[in-house]
Structure 1
Amino acid sequence: MIDVARLRVLREVARHGSFSGAAAALLFTPSAVSQHISALERTLGVPVVERSTRGVTLTESGRLLVESADTIFAELRHARERIDRLATGRTRLTVATFTSGGRRLLPDALRRFVAGHPEVEVNVVEAEPEESLPMVREGRADLALAYHFDGPLPSAGGLEWTPVMEDPMSAALPAGHPLAGRESVDLAELAADPWVIGCSKTEAFLRRYAAQAGFELKVAGSTTDYFFAQALVASGLGVGLIPRLGLDPSAADAVLVPVSPPRPARYVGIAVAGTRRSPLADAVGEALRQAAAAVR
């Protein structure tokens, strides 16, 4: 019989890549973590980690066990929630969302949802997709409002993804910029400008674009908030790339110009765990789609 507590330790080792990182997360000593992993390996009769001076990596058996552990803990958490619901008569629904989606879509969606489900206790957690999607898969959230750019959806294994909207990007320019009066702008035309970054994924996209277009991206400011980035653009610090959901309507001194086709966009959607899909999560998802339609 596999010890559930040892599975939890293995998950943390996988997450942090070291016994010391797992120990800090679990409030254990590194020696205790090592002992748990050794005991788990004796039970299975195969190694689950490879130890080296650079850290710890999972073996194929370890990866298989961690995948199973994610499902096991998600089901246990779901069972606990159902037991709590029986005991209290209250239903709890956790929604994870990225910042600009939460700011622009979630308030309207929650008004619709709460009006029809006043008995449900809603909990909202702010998290980027690389955090929110594992939360759904592990049962720590019932659904996630998330996004991806031109690459694949991160950490989507075992989840059902429903597209909600495309979130096109615009160039944000200081007032008086030579291209501020244009109907559209090619990003290559801004190659000589310093850039203000609104999130790490936007920076990654811009760096890929700059490499393909043959210029070096000059970063004058970096933030994790598009509203802040737009304010920095308005101050004249540089130019930016802002998605529709990240636009600050009060930043009147920043001029927004659509990017020429193929216009970059974020692809916004809803992620749920298919094995634990609930009518309540579906109701929130429908409310989010209606809110997105209003924004479009």
Structure 2
Amino acid sequence: MIDVQRLQVLLTVAEHGSFNRAAAALRLTPSAVSQQVAALERSLGAQVVARSTRGVTLTRVGQIMVGAAESVAAELEHAQQQITELSTGRTQLTVATFTSGGQFLLPAALTQLMAAHPRTVLHVREGEPEDTLPLVRQGAVDLALAYHFDGPLPVGPGPGSSLEWMPLLEDPLYVVLPPGHRLADRDALDLADLAAEPWVLGCLKTEAYLRRYAEQAGFDPEIHGTTTDYFFARSLVAAGMGISLIPSIALAPELPGLSAVPIKSPGPIRHIGVATISGRNRPCITTLIRSLREQAMRHNGH
């Protein structure tokens, strides 16, 4: 019989990448964490992590067991939700979102949700997809508004097969130029046109994305500022620090004098969607997804 507590320890080790960090999260000693993982390996007759001086990585067996640990956690959380609903008559719903997507899509969708399901107790958590998607798989979050660029979803450790991904909209990135910029009147820009420009960016992942596209265009971008907020990045552009790369949904509210110019195809795009656990179509989740789709369709219609 596989010990559920040991599965939880393995899941925490996979999330944090080392025994020491997992121990801090679990409020255990590193030795206790190591012993729990070793005991799990003995019961399975197989190694679940590969140990090195740089931390630990999952073996194929470990990936399978992390997937099982997430399924167990999700089922236990779902059972707790059902018990709470039976005892209180109220539905608990936890929604995770990244910042710009939440600001753009969630408010109107949540208004519709609460009108249709007024006895829903709603919780919203902010986070990047690499943090929130594993929480969906584990049952800690019911739905995540998330995104990815031109690679796969950042689902984290384990196979991620329990996730259901529903695309909402494509969110192209625009070049934002300061007042009076020589290229502000262009209908579209090639990144090569911007090789000599300084950049200020509103997201670390946007910087990595810019560098990849800039390399294809034959230059190495000069980064003068990196923030974690697209509005702040546009404020720095307005102050004359450089130009920026901003997703279309993060271009509001407008800042006076700034120009947002599309990038010639094929340009960088964020793919925005909703992640849930397969088969968990509770009425409140169905309503929220429908409302999010309506908000996305309004944006696409523009």
Structure 1 SS opposite 2:279: helix
For residue 151 of structure 1, report the CA deviation from its aligned partner. 1.8
Q: Find out whether 1:28 has 2:28 as its counterpart.
A: yes
Distance 1:263 1:57, change over 3 A: closer
For 1:228, the aligned partner's letter is F
Residue matched to 2:136? 136
Q: For residues 204 and 12 of structure 2, what CA distance do their matches in structure 1 show?
A: 25
How far is 1:279 from its partner?
A: 2.5
Counterpart for residue 94 of structure 1: 94
Amino acid at match of 2:174: S
The residue number in structure 2 matching 1:190 is: 194
Sort the Cα spacing of 1:260 and 1:25 in 2 relative to 1 into closer, same or farther, 3 A.
same
Offset at 1:104?
A: 1.0
Q: Which residue is 1:175 aligned to?
A: 179
For the residue of structure 2 that corresponds to 1:221, the secondary structure is strand
Stretch deviating more after TM superposition (254-263 or 89-98): 254-263
Larger CA deviation: 182-191 vs 255-264: 255-264
- For 1:63-96, what per-residue CA distance to the aligned partner results, in whole angstroms no more than 9, with x for missing partners? 2111111111111111111111111111011111
Instruction: State whether residues 237 and 243 of structure 2, in contact with CA within 8 Å, keep that contact through their aligned partners in structure 1.
Output: yes
- Equivalence map 1:52-67=2 (5 Å): 52-67=52-67
Counterpart Cα distance in 1 of 2:143 and 2:258? 34
TM-score normalised by the chain length of structure 1? 0.95
Structure-1 residue corresponding to 2:127: 127
Aligned to 1:288, which of 289, 292, 298?
Answer: 292
How far 1:6 moved relative to its partner?
1.0
1:255 positional shift: 1.6
Native 8 Å contact 1:230 1:248 kept in 2: no
Shift of 1:267: 1.3
Compute the displacement of 1:161 (Å): 1.3
- The reply on whether 1:233 has 2:222 as its aligned counterpart is no
Matches within 5 A, 1:43-122: 43-122=43-122
1:251 aligns with 2:255: yes
CA distance in 2, matches of 1:203, 1:166: 19
Deviation at 1:202, TM superposition (A): 1.4
Unaligned runs of 5+ in 1: none
- Aligned residue-pair number: 296
Offset, 1:36 = 1.3
RMSD, matched Cα: 1.5
Q: Aligned-pair distance for 1:137?
A: 1.2
Query: Given that residues 231 and 254 in structure 1 are in contact (C-alpha distance below 8 angstroms), is that contact kept between their aligned partners in structure 2?
Result: no
Whether 2:153 is the aligned partner of 1:153: answer: yes
Q: Which residue of 1 aligns with 2:167?
A: 163
Contact 1:148 1:268 in 2 (8 A): yes
Q: Give the TM-score of the pair, scaled to structure 2.
A: 0.93
- CA contact 1:142–1:273 (8 Å) conserved in 2: yes
Cα gap change, 1:286/1:220 in structure 2, threshold over 3 Å: closer, same or farther?
Answer: same
Q: State the 4+ residue runs in structure 1 displaced beyond 6 angstroms.
A: none
Q: Secondary structure at the match of 1:224?
A: coil
Q: 1:153 to 1:50 in 2, by over 3 A?
A: closer
Residue of 258, 265, 279 corresponding to 1:261: 265
Distance 1:196 1:116, change over 3 A: same
State the alpha-carbon separation in 1 of the partners of residues 3 and 27 from structure 2: 19
One-letter code of the match for 2:279?
T
Quote how far apart the aligned CAs of 1:3 are. 1.4
Give the direction of change, closer, same or farther, for the CA distance of 1:254–1:275 in structure 2 (3 Å limit): same
Instruction: Give the whole-Å Cα distance in 2 for the aligned partners of 1:269 and 1:50.
Output: 34
SS of 1:184 mapped into structure 2: coil
How far is 1:143 from its partner? 1.0
Matched letter for residue 211 of structure 2: R
Matched, 1:270 2:259: no
Is residue 2:223 matched to residue 1:224?
A: no
- 1:17-68 residue CA offsets vs partner (Å, 9 max, x unmatched): 2211111110101111122122222322333223333322333222211111
CA contact (8 A) 2:191 2:217 kept: no
Q: Percent identity?
A: 56
1:222 is displaced (CA, Å) by 0.3
